[in-house]
Structure 1
Amino acid sequence: MSETTEIVAATLPVQGAEPVPTNSARILIIDDEAAIRESLETMLTLEGFSVDLAVDGASGMDFLARNHYDLLLLDLALPGESGLDLLPRIVEMHPELPVIMITAFGTMGNVVDAIRAGAENFVQKPWDNEKLLADIRTAIARHKAEEENVQLKRTLKQRYNFSNIVGKSEPMLRLFDLIAQVAPSRSTVLLQGESGTGKELFAKAIHANSPRRDHPFVPVNTGAVPSELLESTLFGHVKGAFTSAIASKKGLFEVANGGTLFLDEIGTMTMDMQAKILRVLQDRRFMHVGGVHEIQVDVRIIAATNVNLQDAVRAGRFREDLFYRLNVINLELPPLRSRREDIPLLASHFLKLYATENAMEERILSPDALRILLDYEWPGNVRELENAMERGVVLSTSKTITPELLPAQLTGNTYTAALLDRQPDASLFDLMEDIERRIIADRLERCHWNQTEAAEYFRIPLSTLNQKIKRLNVEIRKRPRD
């Protein structure tokens, strides 16, 4: 086991080891009815939980002041201060503690007030034991995941600059180890992974943990720059090199001198451009477009692609010699579906991020919403999860993100059914155009609005895709995420 893994192994469960069970958690029950307290204590103790009992708000607050708990079961109708009166004080003292309200008087007004005050869930007496246990386990799992995430970030920040990468799964720990080993070297790195896996974040982490950290990190999405402009973008040009070159301009290789140049979507480069990149990798020299003098640079290259470059080499679309130059150190970024234990951490991270960005109170996921996230396949990976959480925050009117606030593809609500409801008199042609527009827009978003990549996914020429975008009035948005 490497040093980085040893740092986090003491606090984080990893794949292949026994996971930390939620029923090892400690629960506090605040309820004035002895029969309710005893019933809950018996049920939870048999499930392996550690349980403390309080008969009123005063004793409950005393327990909370002296002990750490993973969940609070709070009665609404307590003598003296009610559960609703206590809840704001509890949330202020322990903002991360999940609270489930229990009551025999569950009006809609009470539910709304409790959720707004910070309760995670609301259970009415008499309850279904299996459902209550499922809600308790889900709430505790989320609480433990958030605590682990905080600890992980604190530990990794102390040793490495991984503050923007969230994960505790075995694939992520292996990547942290590899980055720690790779970062200090001068070697070229090739990041491979599906769209939305965070390739730029990992490139930044390599740069931030390298001796080049005080020099520029310069990213360029080579697939988003028109091929006729890419050479000038990377190498610069002299005045008069082409019609619009009214002044000399540095290229990104010069801007990144001493630092790191991140070439994203490198598989989209033309063969001619690949030859020019190969020469720079070999000699660390290049010329401005239209120039006659060679320029020497000290730049580390990190390249990224979401296509299999070996397949592209076999198909004659990518130079074999360039592939081997880039493939000195190859890091495979895992898709989100292969590290599902990171989903609660990532969801929590994005909910906090977008609540802060929108000046809103912090949001949490309901148990049902979390189950949906854990069951989904995530073809768009972390970027798709981030978009779903941003949507949930923006559309929410209370603290809890429920399944209704999640995108339709997550919940199984089909777009076509909604379309038929909205346009009952539409012709088949109109409906098909609307569906086609939605599919193209969705794929473009997943491809980070890279039309070349989307055309390859659809297996159609780029010109055909452009015609469809214009004919269907597909809205093009450019909003980079990684």
Structure 2
Amino acid sequence: MSTGNRNASAGRLLVAAGQADVRLTLKEKFEAWGHEVTLVPDLQLLGELLQRNDFDLSAIVHDPESMNGIEFMEELPDDGSRNKIIIIAENGTIEDAVRAMQLGARDFLANPWNSDKINCSIRQHLGSRKGGSANALPRSRPGALKSASSSRDQYTIISCSQVMKKMLAQARSVAPSRATVLIQGESGTGKELMARFIHNCSDRADKPFVAMNCAALPENLLESELFGHEKGAFSGALNRKPGKFELADGGTLLLDEVTEMALPLQAKLLRVLQEREVDRVGGTRPVKVDVRIIATTNRDLPRAVSDGKFRNDLYYRLNVIPFVLPALRERPEDIPVLAEHFLQFFVQEYGKNGTKFAKGVIEELENRQWPGNIREIRNLIERGVLLAEDGEITLKDLLGDNDLAGGHGGPQDPSVKLPPDVFKLSELERETIKRALTKTGGNRTHASKLLGISVRTLRNKIAEYRQIGLVL
């Protein structure tokens, strides 16, 4: 067992498993990581212990036959206790994972799982107490549930997508190293969340995580913010000020929108990466720093390099461990999970208990293109919760009157006409489907109604066309 595992913040854990050897194995591991462990042989006892509110986190080894953690969570009252449960699945399915997250589980670890995955999950949710761990809040304290949800919403990645699961597994594996990470992806895909995930899974988890938006300040101010300055270095520099690198010493520095950094600053950043020391503005000697760099961008970095807007040598320095986050439209299975997650969060945030989605709303959300990705769906659900009447969120609450017919991020062109010389039924079918999709702005639900077929049939047709290289 590596000594790095002992750096996780200690907590009081409940471990429930149907098999004694599994309980004892987990107990040995958790205690080696510094936690205080209580073993629970059955779910009835677990429920009684949870009511005492004496524990920070519960780990349930889920097995549909011997210890069904999902059914147990369904029977728990909605009093915050679900937010303190990690499901470790011996035999789990994607449906189990979705249901567990809908019920509010802190995490769902499916086979193959190992010590590192479990340790990373515990670190993420017990984490650094200085960072405001949700589990550090007692359930009986006023506002605790809201604070727990706020922390979870801000720092937890919600996904049941196989693509994201693989990416998170890779992130866990590289987290303990000090290698520089480059995270690319469209705006709203969760690049900062991924950066925090890596930090929380590393041996720097109890050290500072400092974020700096490189597009937020002009070049001269950004240099001072990053590298710090000495007293009198420029007009208004009344005192010595440490920069973000020094503030992140021992921890992680996130350089958000790194492609917006001016070329002269890129040269200074390259030197910091090479020498691991910074020169304060107006300083006379370098300052040593131990910082793990994570950079993010929503731009095409290779193109920025070829256009002369980003240094080639800096690109290779940053691109040691690359991650490209998929857009939400590329992982549609996450849409209902995220919708339910944000619904629960904003229902608690605004005290609108009992609010739910009206029939057909989730299906409509699944059919949208989400150009703004996770940020867009989050904002849309917040709006829906605030505008909902009679405890139901309708499409009108979410989209408004002007967006009900489209809003899929694609242009609407109802003037598309079938070619006059097309007679093959397969081509007529394809052109008709294309026309319906264009007319409805890509809305498959509305397009299927125009075509007189089910949404499932339309999806199958689109999938067939994609298999032969056709994109409607």
Which TM-score tier does this pair reach, normalised by the shorter chain? 0.5 to 0.7
Mapped pair 1:366 → 2:319: no
Task: Within 5 Å, give how 1:175-254 maps onto structure 2.
Answer: 175-254=167-246
Task: Within 5 Å, give how 1:404-423 maps onto structure 2.
Answer: 404-408=396-400, 411-412=404-405
The corresponding residue for 1:318 is 310
The corresponding residue for 2:328 is 336
Rounded Cα–Cα distance in structure 1 between residues aligned with 2:194 and 2:255:
13
* Deviations, residues 421-462 of structure 1 (Å, cap 9, x unaligned): xxxxxxxxxxxxxxxxxxxxxxxxxxxxxxxxxxxxxxxxxx
Letter in 2 for 1:235: F
Secondary structure, counterpart of 1:377 in structure 2:
coil
Rounded Cα–Cα distance in structure 2 between residues aligned with 1:299 and 1:390:
36
* Deviations, residues 374-424 of structure 1 (Å, cap 9, x unaligned): 01000000000000000011111232211111124752368xxxxxxxxxx
Deviation at 1:145?
Answer: 3.4
The corresponding residue for 1:153 is 107
Mapped pair 1:280 → 2:280: no
Letter in 2 for 1:153: D
Rounded Cα–Cα distance in structure 1 between residues aligned with 2:291 and 2:75:
50
Long gaps (5+) in structure 2:
1-67, 79-93, 111-116, 126-155, 408-472
Deviation at 1:307?
Answer: 0.3
The structure, 1 or 2, with the larger RCO (C-alpha pairs under 8 Å, 6+ apart) is 1
The corresponding residue for 2:369 is 377
The corresponding residue for 2:157 is 165
Secondary structure, counterpart of 2:196 in structure 1:
helix
Deviation at 1:369?
Answer: 1.3
Rounded Cα–Cα distance in structure 2 between residues aligned with 1:402 and 1:145:
22
Secondary structure, counterpart of 2:375 in structure 1:
helix
Secondary structure, counterpart of 1:234 in structure 2:
helix
Rounded Cα–Cα distance in structure 2 between residues aligned with 1:181 and 1:94:
34
Deviation at 1:328?
Answer: 0.2
Secondary structure, counterpart of 2:186 in structure 1:
coil
Long gaps (5+) in structure 1:
1-67, 71-91, 97-140, 415-482
The corresponding residue for 1:448 is none
The corresponding residue for 1:460 is none
Rounded Cα–Cα distance in structure 2 between residues aligned with 1:153 and 1:144:
9
1:303 aligned residue (295, 308, 333):
295
Q: Any conservation in 2 of the 1:152–1:168 contact (CA below 8 Å)?
A: no
Change (3 A) 1:94 1:281: closer
Deviation at 1:273?
Answer: 0.7
Letter in 2 for 1:145: V
Change (3 A) 1:195 1:269: same
Rounded Cα–Cα distance in structure 2 between residues aligned with 1:404 and 1:240:
58
Instruction: Flag the structure with larger Rg.
Output: 1
Rounded Cα–Cα distance in structure 2 between residues aligned with 1:182 and 1:305:
20
Change (3 A) 1:93 1:167: closer
Q: Any conservation in 1 of the 2:231–2:237 contact (CA below 8 Å)?
A: yes
Letter in 2 for 1:160: C
Q: Any conservation in 2 of the 1:352–1:362 contact (CA below 8 Å)?
A: no
User: Structure 1 vs Structure 2: percent identity of aligned residues?
Assistant: 46
Deviation at 1:359?
Answer: 1.8
Rounded Cα–Cα distance in structure 2 between residues aligned with 1:386 and 1:191:
21
Scaled by the length of structure 2, the TM-score of the pair is 0.56
Q: Any conservation in 1 of the 2:98–2:160 contact (CA below 8 Å)?
A: no
Q: How many residues matched?
A: 283
Q: Any conservation in 1 of the 2:187–2:298 contact (CA below 8 Å)?
A: yes
Deviation at 1:155?
Answer: 3.1
Rounded Cα–Cα distance in structure 1 between residues aligned with 2:341 and 2:354:
11
Rounded Cα–Cα distance in structure 1 between residues aligned with 2:302 and 2:255:
18
Deviation at 1:364?
Answer: 2.1
Q: Any conservation in 2 of the 1:373–1:410 contact (CA below 8 Å)?
A: no
Moved over 6 A (4+): 92-96, 141-144
Rounded Cα–Cα distance in structure 1 between residues aligned with 2:404 and 2:108:
34
* Deviations, residues 88-129 of structure 1 (Å, cap 9, x unaligned): xxxx96889xxxxxxxxxxxxxxxxxxxxxxxxxxxxxxxxx
Rounded Cα–Cα distance in structure 2 between residues aligned with 1:373 and 1:338:
14
Task: Within 5 Å, give how 1:24-103 maps onto structure 2.
Answer: none
Letter in 2 for 1:347: A
Letter in 1 for 2:120: Y
Rounded Cα–Cα distance in structure 1 between residues aligned with 2:272 and 2:241:
18
CA RMSD of aligned residues (A): 2.7
